[in-house]
Amino acid sequence: MTGRVLMVQGTGSSVGKSLIAAAFCRILRARGMSVAPFKAQNMALNSFVTPDGFEIGRAQAVQAEAAGIAPAVEMNPILLKPEPGMRSQVVVMGRPVASMSFRDYHLMRPELVRVIHDALAHLRAAHDFVVIEGAGSPAEINLRSQDLVNMHVAREADAPVILIGDIDRGGVFAQFVGTMDLLEPADRVRVAAFLINKFRGEAALLAPGIEYLEQRFGIPMLGVAPFIANLKIADEDSAALENRRGRRASHDDLDIAVIQLPHISNYDDFLPLEHEPGVCVRFIQRGEEIGAPDLLVIPGTKSTVADLAWLRASGLADAIVNRARLGAPVIGICGGCQMLGRRIDDPYAVESTVESAPALGLLPLATRFAREKRTAQVRGRAIAPSVFTGMSTEDVGDISGYEIHMGGIERDAGSPPCFQVLRLNSAAEAEDGAIAGDGAAVAGTMIHGIFDNDRLRARMLAWLRYRRGIPAPAVKTPFSRDDEYDRLASVVRENINWSLFERIAGLA
């Protein structure tokens, strides 16, 4: 079997390719098809771990969930994770290869072309349909000869392309015209339809522009997808964080401040908190923005030592330490957990040229970077009270999540961990995290996705409300990602020309 294909490309970054691809995955699944997502090369610090322990972009994990299948490494064979100094960690088929400059990376192109070919062939052999996502814009003249993710893949798969433009940022018709004019003629003919995304008005007002596009290029408009407010699906692009800056908590809201590190990763860890009623999650970058939150969080980072130095230079490090010493709750996740410890050692120069750096000294642990990255899905349970569990282990239940880190932590002798976990890809048991030994409300974990655990999240929020003496909000309907995927798919399907989509996708 060779599965059919459809490719989603965009006029630029952050136009909504990932969510439209997820919607198409959901729509095709509803037709009873086995469908898989694919993105040849992803540049992102939001990543995920497959059940067998391979690292891929978070967007492809979301699309796989929308398609109702488990994420697999073939869905994103190349992942680039930006680092300081205009370098990136290159992850090929779920395993880090090296830290490289742009020039060095493209010397690998012949090898990467084969990797992409094999991964896509594997998915097409296993599924009825593959929804392919591009990256950025296919019309970047300076990148055309080295392209691995846009028209190169469209040619490889002989895929029709739906070109998406973002009207929310303005100039959508100029986006389409500029993109089409800059494409090579052989690539231009692959564009089967346009799709306007994130519209907030009356679609009839767009008629003159749509007519112009269709007449100039002889390519139909597939539809106009509206902006979907409060969509509870993880974002791939860090540009989405700008919408979370400047939020203010009302008097009866829980105020959770997350430090927006320069190399912040897996910021979707906080999405479950953002969609809780009566909770305000705000991202901050300066000491004066901290205020008096109910919970202060240091999130994950791709560059722990560099971001620790930034914390000190910005004054945030002193503010974090002062709040913790006053008894205010502070937690760290992955790199944030490592920063809360006593020191960070990097003897193999895995992440920086600093062999050892003092950390914030709030947790009884030290970090040592290793040459091998640990990537694993985990299952476990809380074994000691901490901020994460509302200072109790009762009614927390089992937990799950995933690990992605180069540095391993070592607790001081006699210091309790937060969780006992089982790494599913190796069946190895381990103790995770640490708790401040002086009774302060400081804790850290290496587990991403920790707040996806409903009972743990509820316990923590209840304790934070009790601590401040504010009431719980009215009972709400439990959040369901399945419902959100259905909502996304329904909105997209209702706003596209379905018969045209069927013809483009070869379903008619």
Residues 271 and 224 in one domain: no
- Please state, in angstroms and rounded to a whole number, the distance separating the CA atoms of residues 336 and 489: 35
Residues 70 and 116 in one domain: yes
Residues 215 and 275 in one domain: no
CA distances from 14 to 17, 179, 236, 403 (A): 7, 15, 9, 27
CB atoms within 10 A of CB 428: 11
Q: Is residue 478 part of a domain?
A: no
- DSSP secondary-structure letter at 74? G
Q: Is residue 239 part of a domain?
A: no
pLDDT at 238: 56
Does residue 49 have a pLDDT over 90? Answer: yes
CATH value at residue 167: 3.40.50.300
pLDDT at 386: 96
- Please state, in angstroms and rounded to a whole number, the distance separating the CA atoms of residues 431 and 436: 16
SS3 367: strand
Which is more confidently placed, 234 or 365? Answer: 365
Q: Is residue 282 part of a domain?
A: yes
Q: Residue 341 corresponds to which amino acid?
A: G
- Please state, in angstroms and rounded to a whole number, the distance separating the CA atoms of residues 351 and 341: 17
- Side-chain half-sphere CA neighbours of 295 within 13 A: 30
Does residue 378 have a pLDDT over 80? Answer: yes
User: pLDDT tens across 154-180, in order?
Assistant: 999 999 999 999 999 899 999 999 999
Does residue 18 have a pLDDT over 90? Answer: yes
Long-range contacts of 289-293 (CB under 8 A, 24+ apart): 289/257, 290/257, 290/316, 290/319, 290/323, 291/255, 291/257, 292/255, 292/328, 293/249, 293/255, 293/256, 293/257, 293/328
CATH value at residue 331: 3.40.50.880
- DSSP secondary-structure letter at 147? -
Residues 464 and 489 in one domain: no
- Please state, in angstroms and rounded to a whole number, the distance separating the CA atoms of residues 187 and 55: 31
SS3 percent helix, strand, coil of the chain, rounded to 5, is 35, 30, 35
Residues 93 and 166 in one domain: yes
Burial class (CB within 10 angstroms; exposed 0-12, middle 13-18, buried 19+) of 347: exposed
Which is more confidently placed, 352 or 47? Answer: 47
pLDDT at 250: 76
Q: At CA 194, angle to CA 192 and CA 200, rounded to 5?
A: 160
Give φ, ψ of 398 to 5 degrees: -75, 150
- DSSP secondary-structure letter at 449? T
Q: Is residue 236 part of a domain?
A: no
pLDDT at 5: 98
Q: Which residues contact residue 255 at a Cβ distance below 8 angstroms, ignoring those fewer than 6 apart?
A: 249, 280, 282, 291, 292, 293, 294, 295
Q: Which residues pair with 194 in a beta bridge?
A: 163, 221
Q: Residue 248 corresponds to which amino acid?
A: R
User: pLDDT tens across 245-290, in order?
Assistant: 557 777 889 999 999 999 999 999 999 999 899 999 999 999 889 9
Taking a C-beta distance cutoff of 8 angstroms, is the pair 228, 487 a contact? yes
Residues 97 and 167 in one domain: yes
User: pLDDT tens across 121-130, in order?
Assistant: 999 999 999 9
For the segment 233-240, the average pLDDT, to the nearest whole number, is: 66
pLDDT at 239: 56
Range of the domain at 328: 244-468
Residues 260 and 329 in one domain: yes
User: pLDDT tens across 438-451, in order?
Assistant: 767 999 999 999 99
Q: Which residues pair with 421 in a beta bridge?
A: 380, 430
Residues 415 and 495 in one domain: no
Count of domains observed in the chain:
2
Q: What percent of the chain has pLDDT over 70?
A: 97
- DSSP secondary-structure letter at 266? -
For the segment 174-199, the average pLDDT, to the nearest whole number, is: 97
Residues 402 and 495 in one domain: no
- Please state, in angstroms and rounded to a whole number, the distance separating the CA atoms of residues 432 and 410: 10
pLDDT at 249: 72
CA distances from 345 to 212, 261, 403, 442 (A): 60, 20, 19, 22
pLDDT at 342: 97
- Please state, in angstroms and rounded to a whole number, the distance separating the CA atoms of residues 302 and 464: 29
Taking a C-beta distance cutoff of 8 angstroms, is the pair 451, 272 a contact? yes
Q: How confident is the model at residue 427 (pLDDT cuts 50, 70, 90)?
A: confident
Q: Is residue 220 part of a domain?
A: yes
Taking a C-beta distance cutoff of 8 angstroms, is the pair 67, 26 a contact? yes
Residues 194 and 286 in one domain: no
Q: Which two tokens stand for residue 291?
A: 């205020």
Residues 351 and 494 in one domain: no
User: pLDDT tens across 107-123, in order?
Assistant: 999 999 999 999 999 99
Give φ, ψ of 388 to 5 degrees: -55, -35
Q: Residue 374 corresponds to which amino acid?
A: R
Catalytic residue IDs = 334, 448
Q: Is residue 237 part of a domain?
A: no
Which is more confidently placed, 143 or 207? Answer: 207
Q: Residue 313 corresponds to which amino acid?
A: A
Q: Which residues contact residue 23 at a Cβ distance below 8 angstroms, ignoring those fewer than 6 apart?
A: 66, 488, 489, 491, 492, 493
To 10 degrees, the CA torsion angle through 244, 250, 253, 257? 40
Residues 184 and 261 in one domain: no
Q: What is the rounded average pLDDT for all residues in the chain?
A: 93
Q: Is residue 238 part of a domain?
A: no
Q: What percent of the chain has pLDDT over 90?
A: 84
CB atoms within 10 A of CB 88: 20
Q: Is residue 147 part of a domain?
A: yes
- Side-chain half-sphere CA neighbours of 110 within 13 A: 1
**Nearest CA to 301 among 370, 181, 404?**
404
